Structure formats: structure tokens, C-alpha cells
């Protein structure tokens, strides 16, 4: 498989896993539509890439998916791949959880992913080719005390992804999920110190996830890696 000239939309591109994936696939000659809220970071990233445009916006804005599709079509005439990756992680025990933040997380991690998916899949199905990769998590496979709402969003991503995979089998459009374990990004920056992960239990780098996304995209058309779980080798859970 050759990724040269393929057009990839990345949500959550302004930092962490999304930004690392853009930088890695830039070496393959991929063309990018990048999105996130932070316009400055998107601009800085786009300037480092060979071919990239960006559309700054909140992923929960229902008008954004169509604008992203149009950005791909007007700039690059096509859309081949989508990396549905924007996400937040709010946690907290029953007494302390910020319920409004949890409900907003549901909108970012699942509702927005659903909106982006249908907009892009309708286009890809009509062109008879495409690849949608959703960012799930180890937390989409296993529950942990105190992160139930985050678990819920990622279990939902898993269910949605697998149902789409089956629905689209044979259409030329492939759907899969990447399932990162703990990865050193800004996702936990707002957590209190005592909730942070123990570094002795290992931490992936965003480039480790980018390499796995690239692996999924590089499979020949008749092959699909529907789920790819990647965790630090030292992680005991």
C-alpha cells in the first residue's frame, strides 16, 4: 500500500496523538485536513507539513463535519481517510465528579464522533472507498472505578465502530478502532496530582499510537485490522 497523495482528515489534530499521526504520515506524502479548537496550534502544525489545510472549530458544532468534508473536497478534490480522534477525559468519584463536564465529554467523545462518521461515510460509500479509524481506548474494553462516564463513551465508540464495520463490509469502505493504553499527552493535564498515573507503570508516546494507525492504513484493501489495542509493556492492568 502506498499512502502518497491520500487525503486524511484528523480530528483532535492540534496536539497529542492526532498531531503525532499527522507528522508521521507526512513522511508518506499524505495530504491533511486538520481540525481542533486551537487555531494557533493547528496553524503551527500545518506549517510543518507538506500539504495541509486546517479548519478550527468545536467538534460538537453540528455544522463542522460538513465544513470539514468541503475543505477536503475543495482543497484536494477527495477524502480517503478519517481519523476520528478528538476527545477529552473527565473523571471523578460519585461525590466529586463534575456532572456537566462528564456530559460534555459524552458529546465530544461520542456524539461528535457519530456526526463526523455519518457525514464522511456517506461520502466515502458513494465513492466506493475509504477508511475511518475511531480512537477508542483500553477504557473501551475494560472498566475502571472512577472513570465510568469515560468508559461509557469509549465502550460506545467500540460498539458503533464494530456495527459500522459490518454494515460497510464489501462496500470498499473500511472501519476500525485504535485502542491506546496510557499515552503521554495533554489529556490528563487538568487532573489533580494524586490521580495521575504512576510513571513506573509505563507510558506510551503519541508516536507509538501514530505508528499503529499507520500500520492499519498500510494494510492492503482486502485486509482490515478492525481493532488494535496498544499498551505500555509495563502496564499491569
Ligand X SMILES: NC(=O)c1ccc[n+]([C@@H]2O[C@H](COP(=O)([O-])OP(=O)(O)OC[C@H]3O[C@@H](n4cnc5c(N)ncnc54)[C@H](OP(=O)(O)O)[C@@H]3O)[C@@H](O)[C@H]2O)c1
Q: Annotated catalytic sites, by residue?
A: 150
Q: Is residue 168 within 8 Å of residue 124, measured between CB atoms? A: no
Long-range contacts of 124-128 (CB under 8 A, 24+ apart): 124/79, 124/80, 124/82, 124/173, 125/168, 125/171, 125/172, 125/173, 127/78, 128/171, 128/172, 128/173
Q: Closer to ligand X at the Cβ: 4 or 40?
A: 40
Q: How far is the CB of 179 from ligand X (least distance, A)?
A: 7
Query: Cα dihedral sign for 2, 5, 6, 10?
Result: positive
Q: How far is the CB of 161 from ligand X (least distance, A)?
A: 13
Q: Is 31 helix (H, G, I), strand (E, B) or coil?
A: strand
Q: How far is the CB of 15 from ligand X (least distance, A)?
A: 4
User: Going by DSSP bridges, is the β-strand pair 31-36/52-56 parallel, antiparallel, or unpaired?
Assistant: parallel
Task: Name the site residues for ligand X (rule: CB under 6 A).
Answer: 12-18, 36-38, 58-60, 85-89, 108, 135, 137, 180, 182-183, 185-187, 206
Q: How far is the CB of 169 from ligand X (least distance, A)?
A: 25
DSSP secondary structure string for all residues of 170-204 = TTTEEEEEEEE-SB-SGGGTTS-GGGS--GGG--B
Q: Closer to ligand X at the Cβ: 117 or 135?
A: 135
Amino acid at each position: 500500500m502506498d499512502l502518497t497523495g491520500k487525503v486524511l482528515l484528523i480530528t483532535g489534530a492540534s496536539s497529542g496523538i492526532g498531531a503525532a499521526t499527522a507528522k508521521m504520515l507526512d513522511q508518506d506524502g499524505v495530504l491533511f485536513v486538520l481540525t481542533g479548537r486551537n487555531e494557533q496550534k493547528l496553524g503551527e502544525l500545518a506549517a510543518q507539513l507538506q500539504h495541509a489545510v486546517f479548519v478550527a472549530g468545536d467538534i460538537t458544532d453540528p455544522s463542522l463535519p460538513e465544513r470539514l468534508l468541503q475543505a477536503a473536497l475543495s482543497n484536494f478534490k477527495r477524502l480517503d481517510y478519517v481519523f476520528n480522534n478528538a476527545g477529552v477525559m473527565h473523571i471523578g468519584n460519585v461525590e466529586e465528579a463534575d456532572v456537566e463536564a462528564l456530559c460534555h465529554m459524552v458529546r465530544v467523545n461520542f456524539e461528535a464522533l457519530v456526526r463526523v462518521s455519518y457525514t464522511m461515510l456517506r461520502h466515502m460509500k458513494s465513492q466506493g472507498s475509504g477508511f475511518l479509524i475511531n480512537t477508542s481506548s483500553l477504557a473501551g474494553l475494560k472498566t475502571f472505578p472512577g472513570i465510568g462516564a469515560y468508559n461509557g463513551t469509549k465502550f460506545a465508540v467500540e460498539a458503533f465502530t464494530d456495527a459500522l464495520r459490518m454494515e460497510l463490509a464489501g462496500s470498499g469502505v473500511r472501519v476500525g478502532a485504535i485502542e491506546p493504553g496510557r499515552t503521554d499527552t495533554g489529556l490528563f493535564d487538568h487532573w489533580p496530582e494524586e490521580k495521575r498515573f504512576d510513571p513506573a507503570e509505563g507510558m506510551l508516546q503519541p508516536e507509538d499510537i501514530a505508528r499503529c494507525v499507520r500500520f492499519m492504513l498500510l494494510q492492503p484493501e482486502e485486509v482490515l485490522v478492525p481493532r488494535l489495542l496498544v499498551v505500555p509493556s509495563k502496564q499491569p492492568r
